[in-house]
Amino acid sequence: MALPSRYCWRWRASVTGFIETLTGVSGRPIFIAAAYLRRPGAKACLEYKIPVIGRAVPLNTVSSPVTRHRSRFLYHTPRVCCCRIHSDAKLKDPFTLVQNDLKNLYEDIKKELLVPKAELKALCDYYFDGKGKAFRPMIVVLMARACNIHSNKEGNLLPAQRSIAMISEMIHTASLVHDDVIDGADTRRGKTTINEMWGERKAILAGDFILSAASMALARIGNTTVVSVLSQVIEDLVRGEFMQLGSKENENERFKHYLEKTFKKTASLIANSCKAVSILVNSDPEIHEIAYQYGKNVGIAFQLVDDVLDFTSCANHLGKPSAADLRLGLATGPVLFACQQFPELHAMIMRRFSFDGDVDRAWQYVLESDGVEQTNYLARRYCKEAIRQISRLRPSAERDALIRLTELVLARDK
């Protein structure tokens, strides 16, 4: 079935038959497939098919190695519609379910960062002020409880699982500190950045110290598989940052590069943290894969929406300057989609919007194109796959809250 015209754009002949292959952490190929569809008033339009593990297939026949040999431990649920989420899931509030588990999260993190030097402690505690969304710890706790219930346990959170939730927030925050140095950012979460207040050198050291404290907390869990899984996150963060420093000259490879960078910088932490808490309670690799795939797809959707907000939300609401990515020379989803309607953007991307007027012109091109709508649509496709994965676990309030969370990711405005 053809997409509505607002989800389509004219596609140049040079990219006929476009199929991009990405490689996930597991080593299996992930395909983003494109197919031409007719619609009145245009030669062709492009439909993004849902990202799946294995091969590119029509949307109504999505399959993956995870589901070809169904484990007797998995819960069978009907196929999920991408436009409507389970009605029972609407009653489950993710924030309420994890409130008790995360009540003292930031205080416990500060205990991990306890050092005698007052200035270093002030730097390390700066972002752990309890005003963050704690989005990643919330997902980790919900996934832990959902996996515990699925494994015929009471659903109580294990101490090691809560530690992983805490570690995920520490790794994330350390990456923010380093990102702000690299980007030269002066605001973060509506407040002055660490590098702006204390200088770049001390900010780098503070990020390193937070990361080392997270590594020590991880080692205390005592599970070598979990240590290996979460160590992958740190490697991905570094690789993703290096990918962000470069641009692909071949315009057909840019979207592959963008999505792979998005996975490494944002989704890997969520995916591997979800996988880690499942490992602690269940030995079935298929359960580990479900947790991983849910986190990966939600993480990519989260970043896609974040890239959209850079164009649609005001600076005061975002807590950082709008058009920040363009000013850093970054071509995100909305820009890459807009290229199909405004080829002038290709040259700007290659020079990383460095000429006078490039940022303003690129901004205007994006707003005049379908780039924002296309990126939002792609985010919905990733959320659909996340729902499909998590729906294979036994029904529980936590599982339904994870489904509900996909709605919140798509609806976020900051």
- pLDDT at residue 64 is higher than 60: no
Percent of the chain clearing pLDDT 90 (strictly above): 62
Q: Is residue 30 part of a domain?
A: no
- Higher confidence at residue 40 or residue 205? 205
The arithmetic mean of pLDDT across residues 51-71, rounded, is: 35
Domain count for the chain: 1
**Per-residue pLDDT tens over the stretch 104-129:** 999 999 999 988 888 998 999 999 98
Contact 52, 385 (CB under 8 A): yes
Asked whether the predicted pLDDT for residue 359 surpasses 60, the reply is yes
pLDDT of residue 319: 52
Higher pLDDT: 131 or 278? It is 278
Residue 12 pLDDT more than 60? no
Q: Is residue 130 part of a domain?
A: yes
| pLDDT the model gives residue 252 | 76
Q: What is the mean pLDDT of residues 125-134?
A: 85
The Cα 189–Cα 168 span in angstroms is: 18
Closest listed residue to residue 373, CA positions, set 340, 414, 344, 404: 340
Which of 71-75, 324-328, 384-388 shows the lowest per-residue confidence on average (mean pLDDT)? 71-75
pLDDT the model gives residue 250: 76
| CA separation for the pair 175, 401 (Å, rounded) | 27
Task: Give the per-residue pLDDT at 258.
Answer: 95
Q: Work out the burial of residue 3: count CB atoms within 10 Å of its CB; fewer than 13 is exposed, 13-18 middle, 19 or more buried.
A: middle
The pair of three-digit structure tokens given for residue 308, joined into one six-digit string: 């959209």
Q: Is residue 89 part of a domain?
A: yes
Mean pLDDT value across the chain: 80
- Lowest-confidence segment of 6-10, 196-200, 243-247 by average pLDDT: 6-10
pLDDT, residue 133, reads 80
Task: Return the higher-pLDDT residue of 154 and 256.
Answer: 256
Residue 312, domain CATH: 1.10.600.10
Determine the pLDDT at residue 71.
45
**What is the pLDDT, as a whole number, of residue 152?**
79
The answer as to whether 125 is a domain residue is yes
pLDDT on residue 131:
77
In this model, does residue 193 exceed pLDDT 60? yes
- Domain contains 28: no
Which tokens is 53 given?
């593990």
% of the chain residues with pLDDT over 70: 75
In this prediction, residue 148 carries a pLDDT of 96
pLDDT score recorded for residue 40:
35
In a domain, 19, yes or no: no
pLDDT, position 275: 98
| Residue of 20, 189, 40, 90 whose CA lies nearest to 403 | 90
Mean pLDDT of 7-36: 34
Which positions ≥6 away from 48 have C-beta within 8 Å? 32, 33, 34, 377, 378, 381
Residue 15 pLDDT level (bands cut at 50, 70, 90): very low
Whether the per-residue pLDDT at 29 is higher than 70: the answer is no
CB-count burial class (<10 Å; 0-12, 13-18, 19+) for 292: buried
Q: Mean pLDDT lowest for which of 18-22, 160-164, 265-269?
A: 18-22
Q: Which domain holds residue 298?
A: 75-411
Predicted pLDDT of residue 42: 37
Say if 272 falls within a structural domain.
yes
* d(C-alpha 204, C-alpha 11), whole Å: 44
Least confident of 71-75, 227-231, 345-349, 367-371: 71-75
Q: Is 372 inside a domain boundary?
A: yes
Which amino acid is residue 293, in one-letter code?
Q
Residues 6 or more apart from 353 whose CB is under 8 A from it? Answer: 326, 327, 329, 359, 362
pLDDT given at position 91: 52
Looking at residue 318, its pLDDT comes to 52
pLDDT for residue 79 is more than 60: no
Closest CA to 75 of 404, 396, 386, 403: 396
Q: CA quadruple 114, 120, 122, 128: dihedral positive or negative?
A: negative
pLDDT at position 70 over 70: no
